[in-house]
A and B are shown apart, each in its own frame.
Chain A
């Protein structure tokens, strides 16, 4: 551990598992339901949030002493909004198709509670380096869950991973489909994302009883 002190490393590793923003704090659920039908969209969403939260936390942390507390929410919103617009424009310029699939959900990163939550709970009270690590950690924790949910939904729902068929061709009936297997349409619907997140929570809490709250 040359680069990070133990305390700093905890800022990154904690949100990955035992303080995960989705499964433990139960924040940012809407986007986890909406865009996880494909792994590619989940990945891009994860990266977008990583950028917004990492940079945003630093910006807020740098300004934390000059923001009047009465209008801090507005300042935070402006920071997120500017960063989200950057993400949106970059996506439109370099990955137009993808930005169309993600459509409104990139813009809705602004309303992602994880971001405002980290600004309020961490960046306003900590230095820029720590805030940066916290932002990265929480965004990674978010992205991990998105990828897990996206993996199962795309594999079982469409039989592909990142758009590449892995189970054979459902129309030509090759690979697994030759045995009579069929894609599970329920996986492509948002309720299934909720159920998968629920199952992850279940597994996580039965492995670590300390996480169960009364």
Chain B
């Protein structure tokens, strides 16, 4: 008797009891359910919610693996800067991967473990099936936090994010805010010392602070905000050999993931493109402001305003946010025109918050959360605009 049969028997045994959703979830996660629809004709499509979620996870796997190598690379490169001269030779080493395994994998395990426990508890209490929504959130969360985030903080934030960000609204598909970003925002506001500064992005830097072996790794945005020179080349920035949250660094891999999502029609290309456009426009405006000498070098905004607009697109979390966060079909705008507006404003506001935020030189997660709130409003006006235009056409015809 195979595992599938065992699971099926378990499921039958618990059918109708309170624990049924929990067993159903395990069963249908691993195998196709035995039930088929009866009667009626249906549109047949292979991509159910689970397939959608798995596609996004597939697109995230390369980024996770890269992030694991990068966790180790940033650690060793902070100790011995000469490693940076020949990145490719020193990047894909087992030592680097090992640090990734002991630092990044626990983040993934805690994120999934805690989040799924919360989901199972809610499914059992409310008596509905376990929803697949957390599959993607659980993978996104470890990718958008600094590598040194303490695991207990992550657990607290995941509980908060899943309960307040999703379950109170009625679960997957009903949430207003992106749960992964709710978790990130909670961490940022609750434990700011662990989410910013020049220590948390590099493994072991917090432990070593104040000793003779002290190391640090400021993010590029942090350096620019303080008006410091950046040692990384544009190649490093694009490839992702830079300090930052686990998964946000490699613009190349994120763009490959974006291509995959657009090809499978899971991610909306309109949102991705318009987010980059919005960011570029805001970046250009700031560049012009600097070029017109309105902001001089003495201003604290000079560093980030003077950053060329195309560089804004590949540093920080903009690319990751645009591809994996803004496109979340639940919290984004639903209409095509709305998607353009929604994405554009995310990019636009991201760069604006990035430059003007005094405490923390990154604004992508705040911009996306803000636009999540406005997405239904945008849709409303797009739909109303359509109605009005068609009414006018109708009137012109009948008149």
Contact = CB atoms under 8 A, between A and B. Distances in A.
B385 interface: no
Given A195-B164, A198-B168, A202-B168, A186 B152 contact: no
A56 B191 CA distance: 44
Interface of B: 150, 152-153, 156, 164, 168, 186, 189-194
Contacts of A181: 152
Interface string A179-205: 011101111010000010010001000
Given A180-B150, A180-B152, A189 B164 contact: no
Given A198-B168, A202-B168, A189 B189 contact: yes
A189 B186 CA distance: 12
B168 A186 contact: no
Contacts of A186: 186, 189-190
A185 B168 contact: no
Nearest to B163: A199
A187 B168 contact: no
A185 B191 contact: yes
16 contacts: A180-B152, A181-B152, A182-B153, A182-B193, A182-B194, A184-B156, A184-B190, A184-B191, A185-B189, A185-B190, A185-B191, A185-B192, A186-B186, A186-B189, A187-B190, A189-B189
B153 to A, nearest CB: 8
Nearest to B193: A182
A52 B313 CA distance: 57
The main secondary structure of chain A at its interface with chain B is helix
Nearest to A157: B190
Contacts of A189: 189
Count chain B CB atoms within 10 A of each CB in A181, A185, A186, A202 and give the residue with the most.
Answer: A186
A150 B164 CA distance: 20
A204 to B, nearest CB: 14
Count chain A CB atoms within 10 A of each CB in B150, B164, B186, B190 and give the residue with the most.
Answer: B190
Nearest to A181: B152
A122 B263 CA distance: 65
Contacts of B186: 186
Interface of A: 180-182, 184-187, 189, 195, 198, 202
The main secondary structure of chain B at its interface with chain A is helix
Given A182-B194, A187-B190, 12 more contacts: A180-B150, A180-B152, A181-B152, A182-B153, A182-B191, A182-B193, A184-B190, A185-B189, A186-B186, A189-B189, A195-B164, A198-B168
B187 to A, nearest CB: 9
A62 B191 CA distance: 53
Contacts of B192: 185
Contacts of A202: 168
A157 to B, nearest CB: 9
Contacts of B156: 184
Nearest to A206: B125
Nearest to B192: A185
A125 to B, nearest CB: 38
B88 to A, nearest CB: 37
B134 to A, nearest CB: 20
A187 to B, nearest CB: 7
B359 to A, nearest CB: 11
Q: Which 3 A-B pairs have the closest CB atoms?
A: A186-B190, A186-B189, A184-B190
Nearest to B187: A186
A153 B164 CA distance: 17
Contacts of B168: 198, 202
A173 to B, nearest CB: 14
Contacts of A195: 164
A184 B156 CA distance: 10
B110 to A, nearest CB: 14
B144 to A, nearest CB: 17
Nearest to B125: A206
A187 B191 CA distance: 10
A58 B347 CA distance: 58
A4 to B, nearest CB: 38
Contacts of B164: 195
A202 B186 CA distance: 20
A184 B186 CA distance: 10
Nearest to B185: A186
Nearest to A187: B190
Contacts of A184: 156, 190-191
A69 B356 CA distance: 53
A53 to B, nearest CB: 31
A186 B152 CA distance: 16
